[in-house]
Chains A and B, each alone.
Chain A
Amino acid sequence: MSKTADIVIIGGGVMGCATAYYLAKEGLKALVIEKSDIGGEASGSNGGGVRQSARNLKEMPLAMESIRMYESLHEELGMDVEYVQQGNLRLCTNDEELDVMSKSVENQKATGLHLEMLDRSQVLEINPYVGDKIIGASFCPTDGHVNPFLVTYGFYKKAQELGARFYTNEAVTEIRLQKGRVTAVITDKQVIETDLVMNAAGIAGRRISNMVGLDLPMKPVFSEALITEQFPPLFPQMIGHAKGLFYGRQTGHGSFFWGGFVGTEDYLYQKEQAGHSGKPLFHFIGPSIANSIIDFFPVLKNMNVIRMWSGLIAGMSDSIPVLGLTSEVPGFIFCTGFSGHGFGIGPVVGKLMSELILDCNPSIPIHDFCYGRFHKGADHECSCKKNAACTINSAICPNKRQWLKHI
């Protein structure tokens, strides 16, 4: 027997759950399908950083709004999400990194973000535990970090209370089209009739897009993280590295989280001449991260590592997500490809997607993230600025879609 739904969201990560929540708040009860668990993939294995600094400038308006939303998220969700807003330090170890950093700081200041470059003595004032190699850092005081499990779970729980339906351990196998429009989603357990599908499948976003005949320039990037035992609070900032390869924080629980690839470039993709096919050698990543932690924070040298895990990043060719509609397949909405920095903007993306779905009018323009940029270049003129609806054939505007019939 087939079910009927106004919208099916594929993917129960933070994007899927947040969108389901903001839709349910307006009265539209979405049906969410998740292949594993709620927050089981990238939403459950990321660093939990909420940052504006070192973002792609196109993402900046979203990141700034996201910071505002995180400040009151515990009230919205009715539970503590361990949000700490104590700034983000991006550490530099040599002059080259310092140069690159100062330039990007100037660029970001131009967008209205408050952040500054610090020299070593100023860094030591903020965080007295940094190692001798650190010669400077950028500091953005409004950044912070959050517990990613709790945010995703909070959105899930709240959305469920408001009537959204969640199906976990169920994989989408097919999206049925009729005359080019989405008409049904078929999973391994049931058929759901719908004419609106949101692809929030993260790393599987490319496979889901392939089901409707679209493709994304997305490839999985492997990342690894480790966590230490508990320790009394040392520093509350989110720590980053100038090149963005290394990040960490002390969690609300007391353990230290560290993730990234720093120092692994030589090992990660071993040269082909050494008899390898250029595939990553994962067992080098953990020790490499550990080496850099000791370099950056010698005080942590004697702490115990208790757990390591890995995750896949949905890396887009231009490192920014794909959001919004496309007229090539009416009824299909993109919300994927966050390229490893999506969790921090999760709530705002959820809200914008709900506004797009309900009223075709997101409060922050998202045309920079439209699917059309892959055909026409990043700086092309969108056919519809506000709604991120860009197509090869601009004569067909999916924004005049029929799914909400006016009476």
Chain B
Amino acid sequence: MPSNFIFVESIQKIIKNGDHEIKVSKGTKISPAAFDLIKENNITIIHEAESLSGSEKPPLGAVSSVKKNAVEKCETKVDLPEKNTDDTNKSTADITQEDVDQITQRVIDRLKELKTCEHEIPDADPSCPDDDLVICRCEEITKKEIKAVIRSGINTLNGIKRVTRSGMGLCQGQTCQTLVTRILAEELGIHPSKLEPTTARAPVRPVRLAVFAGQGES
């Protein structure tokens, strides 16, 4: 199977980076959705020569232009310390990997900062004092396990039940269902009454198989 595919996501990344060109080697397949994006954003397609020793080794000119782009972007968006502003006087090829790493790290830090300010979701780390609390007593499911599943995108009570087993034990959720509802409501930031309850399942109380089959002693 050829490994060279270009999909929407990679084009979106290029647009985000502010680049206007994409390098493709021969035989690369571009999905039409990606192709539309390329046309819409006037991205030029540069064919990589086949004679290159390795396809992962782009021509030298391309490297420096990419780095140039990176620097220009940094100048406009990130406050560089004095040391780096001096560096812009040098030729672009002098930017070391270390500098790039530094800039990346700063952007990541800043994004993290923004994220925590906006949502104020407590981290699911062990420092949360009630994470070890057993919510479902029949199946011994802790609050931490339930929270982890909610954070992976499962956002209904039935879904939580299926994945964690909370509410699948002897009591069938009679004890833990309100607690799980509260945790889910808290995590989603909505009122518990907005959540659909789990599907009710017969029998209401455990019934012996023999009785259920009509073969009881009586």
Residue numbers of A with Cβ under 8 A of B are 4-6, 26-29, 36-40, 44, 149-150, 153, 156-157, 160, 163, 166, 168-169, 193-195, 228-229, 253, 286-287, 290-291, 293-294, 300-309, 355, 358-359, 361, 402-407
Contact = CB atoms under 8 A, between A and B. Distances in A.
Interface residues of B, number: 50
B114 interface: no
Interface stretch (B81-89, B100-108, B151-159): B151-159
Interface string B30-72: 1111111100000001010000000000000000000000000
Contact of A169 (B1, B33, B45, B156): B156
Contacts of B33: 4-6, 193-195
A194 to B, nearest CB: 7
Contacts of B36: 4
A308 B7 contact: no
Interface of chain A, main secondary structure: mixed
Contact of A404 (B3, B31, B37, B208): B31
A5 B214 CA distance: 55
A307 B172 contact: yes
A5 B36 CA distance: 11
A239 to B, nearest CB: 15
A303 B170 CA distance: 12
Nearest to A402: B32
Interface string B1-41: 11101011110000000000000101111111111110000
Contacts of A404: 5, 29-32
A160 B170 CA distance: 33
A149 B26 CA distance: 43
Nearest to A301: B210
A40 B159 contact: yes
Interface of B: 1-3, 5, 7-10, 24, 26-37, 45, 47, 152-156, 158-159, 162-163, 165, 168-170, 172, 199, 201-203, 206-210, 212-215
B172 A305 contact: no
**Of residues A195, A287, A305, A309, which shows the largest number of chain B Cβ atoms within 10 Å of its Cβ?**
A305
B34 A6 contact: yes
A20 B82 CA distance: 47
A163 B9 contact: yes
Given A38-B159, A157-B152, A305 B206 contact: yes
